[in-house]
C-alpha cells in the first residue's frame, strides 16, 4: 500500500475514554462532562499522533457517543483530519469507504450484560438486552467491525476499559487493544492517569498501522438475520416497520442484505 495515502477512520465513544470513571463524566450538563470531553479529544489526538508516526496521513473522526457533539473541534488535531457524526441505518459511518486502511475505535465499552464492564450496554442503555447477528451475540465493537466490512476495511485498534478490550480481542483477529481502566462494578472504574493512557494509545496506534496487514475485515455471512431482544415490551412496540418481524413481546428480527444495513432498524 502507498503510505502517502494511508487513511484511518476513527470511530469514537465516551464510556471507554481515559480518565472517565463515572457516568456523569460522559453525560451532557453533568459534573465532570467538560473534563470528559477534553480527555475524549486528547485520546483521539494520541491515536492520530501514533498513526502518523507509522505513515498515516488522513483521518476521519466520527463523534459517536449519544447526544453528540462531544469532541472539542478547536482542540482536535487538524492536519489531514475531518469530522463527522453518525446517523442510524446506513449512515453510521458515512465517510468510510474502500480507500481507508483501517478503523480505530476510541473510548469503547463492552456489550450489554458483560460482567465487570464499565457502563456496559448496546445502543441505548435501557433499550437493548441482546443484539444478535446470525445467532451470534455482539456489542457495539463488532457492530462497527461489521459495518466496516461493507467497505472491506478491518478494525485495527480498540481503546477502552479492560472488558471492551477483552471483547475486541475475542472477536477481532489481530486487533491491537489499549486498556485504560478496569471496572469496579458497572458504575465505577479504576483508571490510568490520562497522560499515561494516551501514551499507550499513541504507541498502539503506531503499531496498529504498521502491522495492519495482519488484520482482516470481520467475516459475516450475507444475507444475515439480525435479532434484537429489548428489555421491555413497550420499547419493542416502537418498532413497527413492516420489514421487521415481531417474534414475541421483547424480540424483533429483520433481514439484511449488506453489512452496512446492520443498524437499519
Ligand atoms: Zn457512548
Ligand 1 centroid from CA 81, angstroms: 22
- pLDDT tens digits for range 60-80: 999 999 999 999 999 999 999
**For range 198-213, the mean pLDDT:** 98
- pLDDT tens digits for range 214-249: 999 999 999 999 999 999 999 999 998 888 999 999
Query: Own/partner pairs for 19-25, CB < 8 Å, 24+ apart?
Result: 19/180, 19/191, 19/192, 19/193, 19/194, 19/197, 20/107, 20/181, 20/189, 20/191, 21/118, 21/181, 21/188, 21/189, 21/190, 21/191, 22/187, 22/188, 23/119, 23/187
Ligand 1 centroid from CA 88, angstroms: 14
Distance CA 20, CA 185 (A): 14
Q: What is the pLDDT of residue 5?
A: 78
- Coil, helix or strand at residue 234: helix
Ligand 1 centroid from CA 108, angstroms: 8
Distance CA 111, CA 19 (A): 20
Q: What is the pLDDT of residue 136?
A: 97
Ligand 1 centroid from CA 12, angstroms: 8
Distance CA 118, CA 131 (A): 19
Query: Own/partner pairs for 97-100, CB < 8 Å, 24+ apart?
Result: 97/151, 98/151, 98/152, 98/153, 99/5, 99/7, 100/7, 100/8, 100/9, 100/60, 100/151, 100/153
Ligand 1 centroid from CA 14, angstroms: 5
Q: What is the pLDDT of residue 89?
A: 73
Ligand 1 centroid from CA 4, angstroms: 33
Ligand 1 centroid from CA 68, angstroms: 10
Ligand 1 centroid from CA 71, angstroms: 13
Ligand 1 centroid from CA 92, angstroms: 14
Q: Who wins on pLDDT, 213 or 88? A: 213
- pLDDT tens digits for range 93-112: 999 999 999 999 999 999 99
Quick one: DSSP state of residue 114?
Answer: -
Ligand 1 centroid from CA 3, angstroms: 32
Quick one: DSSP state of residue 115?
Answer: T
Q: Is the pLDDT of residue 2 over 60?
A: no
Ligand 1 centroid from CA 195, angstroms: 21
- pLDDT tens digits for range 139-193: 999 999 999 999 999 999 999 999 999 999 999 999 999 999 999 999 999 999 9
Ligand 1 centroid from CA 39, angstroms: 14
CATH superfamily entry for domain 3-128+137-214:
Dipeptide transport protein (3.40.50.10780)
Distance CA 253, CA 262 (A): 11
CA-based nearest residue to 180, from 195, 163, 192: 192
Q: What is the pLDDT of residue 4?
A: 58
Ligand 1 centroid from CA 160, angstroms: 11
Q: Who wins on pLDDT, 90 or 250? A: 250
Q: Is the pLDDT of residue 1 over 70?
A: no
Asked if 116 contacts 23 with a C-beta cutoff of 8 angstroms, the reply is no
Cα diameter, the chain: 53
Q: How many residues does the chain have?
A: 265
- pLDDT tens digits for range 23-38: 999 999 999 999 999 9
pLDDT interval class at 3 (50, 70, 90): very low
Ligand 1 centroid from CA 2, angstroms: 34
Q: What is the pLDDT of residue 94?
A: 94
Whole-structure pTM value = 0.96
**For range 122-145, the mean pLDDT:** 94
Distance CA 231, CA 125 (A): 10
Q: Where are the domains of the chain?
A: 3-128+137-214, 224-261
Ligand 1 centroid from CA 183, angstroms: 16
Ligand 1 centroid from CA 153, angstroms: 22
- Coil, helix or strand at residue 16: strand
Instruction: Look over the chain and give the mean of its residue pLDDT values, rounded to a whole number.
Output: 95
Amino acid at each position: 500500500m502507498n503510505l502517502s495515502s494511508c487513511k484511518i477512520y476513527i470511530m469514537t465513544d465516551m464510556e471507554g475514554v481515559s480518565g472517565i470513571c463515572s457516568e456523569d463524566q460522559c453525560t451532557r450538563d453533568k459534573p465532570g462532562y467538560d473534563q470528559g470531553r477534553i480527555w475524549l479529544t486528547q485520546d483521539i489526538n494520541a491515536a492520530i499522533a501514533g498513526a502518523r508516526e507509522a505513515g498515516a496521513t488522513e483521518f476521519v473522526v466520527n463523534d459517536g457517543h449519544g447526544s453528540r457533539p462531544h469532541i472539542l473541534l478547536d482542540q482536535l488535531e487538524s492536519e489531514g483530519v475531518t469530522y463527522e457524526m453518525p446517523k442510524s441505518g446506513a449512515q453510521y459511518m458515512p465517510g468510510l469507504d474502500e480507500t481507508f486502511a483501517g478503523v480505530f475505535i476510541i473510548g469503547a465499552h463492552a456489550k450489554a450484560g458483560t460482567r465487570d464492564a464499565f457502563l456496559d450496554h448496546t445502543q441505548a442503555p435501557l433499550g437493548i438486552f441482546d443484539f444478535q447477528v446470525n445467532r451470534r451475540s455482539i456489542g457495539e465493537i463488532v457492530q462497527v467491525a461489521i459495518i466496516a466490512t461493507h467497505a472491506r476495511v478491518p478494525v485495527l485498534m480498540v481503546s477502552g476499559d479492560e472488558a471492551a478490550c477483552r471483547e475486541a480481542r475475542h472477536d477481532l483477529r489481530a486487533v491491537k487493544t489499549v486498556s485504560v481502566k478496569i471496572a469496579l462494578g458497572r458504575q465505577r472504574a479504576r483508571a490510568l492517569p490520562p497522560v499515561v493512557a494516551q501514551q499507550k494509545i499513541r504507541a498502539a496506534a503506531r503499531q496498529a498501522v504498521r502491522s495492519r496487514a495482519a488484520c482482516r475485515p470481520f467475516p459475516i455471512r450475507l444475507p444475515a438475520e439480525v435479532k434484537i431482544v429489548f428489555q421491555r415490551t413497550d420499547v419493542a412496540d416502537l418498532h413497527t416497520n413492516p420489514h421487521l418481524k415481531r417474534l414475541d413481546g421483547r424480540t424483533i428480527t429483520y433481514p439484511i442484505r449488506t453489512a452496512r444495513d446492520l443498524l437499519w432498524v
